[in-house]
Structure formats: C-alpha cells, structure tokens
C-alpha cells in the first residue's frame, strides 16, 4: 500500500483535496479515507472474487491495487442489481447514484463529494469509499469511462426479467458485464511495445465473452431461481427445449446436444482470443493465464458431464486454484485449445 500511496502523493492526491477547499485536518482525513478505500477494495475482492482474486495476486503491487478497485466497483453495481429485497425503482436509483459518482470520479469531482460526506456525515458509505478509491485510480492511470458506463448498463439489464431471444442479445449482455472488465484490465496492464492495442481490445472482448458464457452455463439453475435465463431462446426452441425442461433433463438426447453446442461456443471464444497473452504486458501474463485456465477448466467440467453440472454448481477447489496460480507464476502453464488440457511451458 505504501508504494501506491507514494505515487498517489506524487500525482496530485493531496492537491485534489486542497482544491476542494478542505482544511488541513480534513485533507488528512481524506488521505486516510483514500487508504481505507483501497483496503476495503482489497477486502471485497478477497472475500467475494473467488476466481478473480487468485489471478490478481500474481500482479505487481500497483496493478493489483488498481484491479482490486475495479473489482470492488463492479461488485458494488452487481450487488445493487442482485438485491431482490429492494424494489426495481430503488435499485434503479442506486445505479443512477453510482453512475453519477462514477462520472464525478472521472471528472475528479468526487473529492468534493467525499469531503462533504466526511464533514456532514462523519464518514463514508461502502459505495462512497469505493468511488473515492476509483477517483484516485483515475488520477494514477489512464482509464476510460466508457467501459464503466457500459457495465452499469449491463446491470440495468438485470433489473427486470427478460428473454434473450438470440445469441446476439446474450453476447451484448456478456460484453457489458464481462468484456468491459477485460478492457479495463487491459487499460491497467497495457500492451507490449510494438503490439497492436486495438487488436488487444478485440481479444480482451472475446476472452470476456468466454468467461461470461462459462458463468452462464455454470449458473443456469441459480439464475432460473432468480427469474433469469441468459440462454438464447431461439436455440433452446430449436432443440425443442425450454429452460425448465433443460433443468429437468427431460430428454437426454436433446438436452445433451444443446449443452454440447453451448460449451463448444464458449470454447471457441477462448480459442479465438488465444493470442492475447502474447500481446498484453508481460507483467500481466501470469494473471491472465491463471484466470483463463481456471475458467477453461470449469467449462471443461461442465462439458464433460452437463447433466451433473445442472444439478450442482461446478467449481474448482482452493487447492486447484492455488496450484494453477503457482504454475502460471513460474511460466509452467499455457491455456489449452479446444479438446485438450492446459499444458506446461512458457505462457
């Protein structure tokens, strides 16, 4: 944390607090709140991220801290959308609040808002701490607001029940809730010298879709219980299925064929993005490889026994994740192509 704080001070964190008219005591409280915000973001990531956290631990300190903030921000909007105890109107208002706060963070106006909260309320809420940490990361590195706003739109898609009529609609959802994360990660990591940044963004988009399609296939039963289904309705219908008949596994041949097709598509997105590791900054390769192998292995487990995957949520053990992380850290892991396991060797 100290390295990140030193860079924060060099790049104008204190100046921002001074610019909002803060007293010396308030400026000190703001600096302490920024550190608290960073610590909260790491705590949120460690307790909630599961697969994501093990990959991020492989990054250098500054990039790791930045992506703890990104994850925590994503967690905030996801929790709002998933809070079924609140009305749609209330959740809409909360997402609107986060959008305003995010725009303020990118405009460096969030310091004034945070200072006001400290003065009037005596502290910050969870959401305010995360937005303050995000505002600081905007100061420290070049981030684009577009993917953050797109991610909020993705969560708005979850506020009401909807039918995803075709894969194009499912892919748009995947882009907004997952590919946005990949592109933000790319903004933090950067690409290697002389490599095509635009191509890297395309590959990051594809990898994000691969991750989210894996999530969708893993969580079909859980999502259905919440009134959600992201599977393309036209493809279910083509197999003579509904999500209810799929979950009941009423017709082994049809259900198995449908799940094979869905798993194969997710696998193709992994394959299509296979060259991403050769483009991103070398400091990010172990993290990206570990995360991708974790998701690819989950997909393989679903594909190997889809009926069982619909009955019980597929996951990897903590030991498996740590093992993958260590192998990636020492360059002993490479993402597998379709139909093969990940292999040893340089990533």
Per-position DSSP letters for 108-132, written without gaps between them: T-HHHHHHHHHHHHSS--HHHHHHH
pLDDT at 31: 83
Which of 60-81 are b and which e, b meaning 16 or more Cβ less than 10 Å from the residue's Cβ?
A: eebbbbbbbbbbbbbbbbbbbb
Domain co-membership, 195 together with 101: no
Cα–chain-centroid distance for residue 298?
17
Q: Has residue 233 been placed in a domain? A: yes
Q: Has residue 148 been placed in a domain? A: no
Q: Has residue 119 been placed in a domain? A: yes
Domain co-membership, 137 together with 167: no
Domain co-membership, 115 together with 19: yes
Domain boundary among 112, 141, 170: 141
What distance in Å separates the CA atoms of residue 255 and residue 338, rounded to the nearest whole number?
A: 21
Domain boundary among 141, 169, 185: 141
Domain co-membership, 105 together with 200: no
Q: Has residue 151 been placed in a domain? A: no
Domain co-membership, 55 together with 135: yes
pLDDT at 2: 47
Range of the domain at 264: 161-347
> Would the pTM of this model clear 0.75, i.e. be above it?
yes
Domain co-membership, 205 together with 254: yes
Domain co-membership, 99 together with 198: no
- The answer to whether 264 touches 328, Cβ cutoff 8 Å, is no
Domain co-membership, 136 together with 165: no
Alpha helices in the chain (DSSP H): 2-10, 13-19, 24-48, 51-56, 61-82, 88-106, 110-121, 126-140, 145-156, 167-174, 180-189, 197-218, 220-225, 233-238, 243-248, 252-272, 282-304, 306-311, 318-329
Domain co-membership, 116 together with 168: no
Q: Has residue 240 been placed in a domain? A: yes
- The answer for residues whose C-beta is within 8 angstroms of residue 298's C-beta and 6 or more apart is 214, 218, 314, 315, 316
pLDDT at 12: 46
Question: Three-class SS of residue 280?
Answer: strand
What distance in Å separates the CA atoms of residue 184 and residue 66, rounded to the nearest whole number?
A: 10
- The answer to whether 342 touches 334, Cβ cutoff 8 Å, is yes
Q: Has residue 58 been placed in a domain? A: yes
Domain co-membership, 268 together with 347: yes
Domain count, the chain: 2
Domain co-membership, 281 together with 194: yes
Domain co-membership, 92 together with 56: yes
What distance in Å separates the CA atoms of residue 211 and residue 257, rounded to the nearest whole number?
A: 21
Q: Has residue 37 been placed in a domain? A: yes
**Per-10-residue mean pLDDT for the chain, 347 residues long?**
48 50 73 89 88 77 93 96 95 96 88 77 85 91 94 96 95 98 94 92 97 97 94 98 97 98 98 96 91 94 96 90 81 60 43
């Amino acid at each position: 944390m100290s390295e990140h704080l030193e860079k924060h001070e060099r790049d104008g964190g204190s100046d921002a607090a001074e610019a909002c008219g803060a007293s010396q005591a308030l400026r000190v409280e703001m600096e302490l709140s920024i550190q608290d915000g960073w610590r909260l973001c790491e705590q949120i990531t460690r307790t909630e991220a599961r697969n994501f956290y093990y990959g991020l631990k492989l990054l250098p300190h500054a990039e790791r801290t930045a992506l703890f903030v990104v994850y925590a921000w994503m967690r905030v909007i996801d929790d709002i959308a998933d809070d079924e105890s609140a009305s749609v109107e209330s959740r809409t208002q909360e997402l609107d609040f986060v959008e305003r706060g995010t725009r303020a963070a990118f405009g460096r106006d969030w310091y004034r808002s945070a200072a006001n909260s400290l003065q009037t309320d005596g502290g910050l809420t969870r959401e305010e701490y995360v937005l303050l940490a995000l505002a600081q990361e905007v100061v420290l590195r070049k981030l684009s607001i577009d993917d953050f706003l797109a991610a909020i739109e993705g969560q708005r898609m979850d506020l009401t029940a909807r039918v995803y009529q075709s894969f194009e609609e499912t892919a748009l959802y995947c882009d907004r809730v997952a590919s946005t994360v990949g592109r933000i990660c790319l903004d933090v990591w950067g690409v290697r010298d002389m490599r095509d940044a635009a191509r890297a963004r395309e590959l990051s988009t594809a990898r994000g879709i691969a991750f989210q399609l894996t999530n969708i296939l893993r969580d079909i039963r859980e999502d259905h219980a919440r009134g959600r289904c992201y599977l393309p309705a036209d493809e279910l219908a083509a197999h003579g299925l509904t999500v209810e008949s799929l979950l009941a596994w009423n017709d082994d041949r049809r259900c198995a064929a449908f799940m094979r097709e869905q798993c194969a598509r997710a696998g193709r997105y992994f394959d299509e993005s296979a060259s991403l590791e050769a483009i991103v900054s070398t400091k990010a390769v172990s993290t990206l490889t570990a995360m991708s192998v974790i998701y690819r292995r989950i997909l393989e487990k679903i594909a190997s026994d889809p009926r069982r995957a619909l009955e019980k949520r597929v996951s990897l053990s903590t030991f498996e994740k740590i093992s993958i992380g260590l192998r990636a850290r020492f360059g002993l892991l490479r993402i597998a192509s379709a139909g093969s396991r990940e292999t040893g060797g340089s990533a």
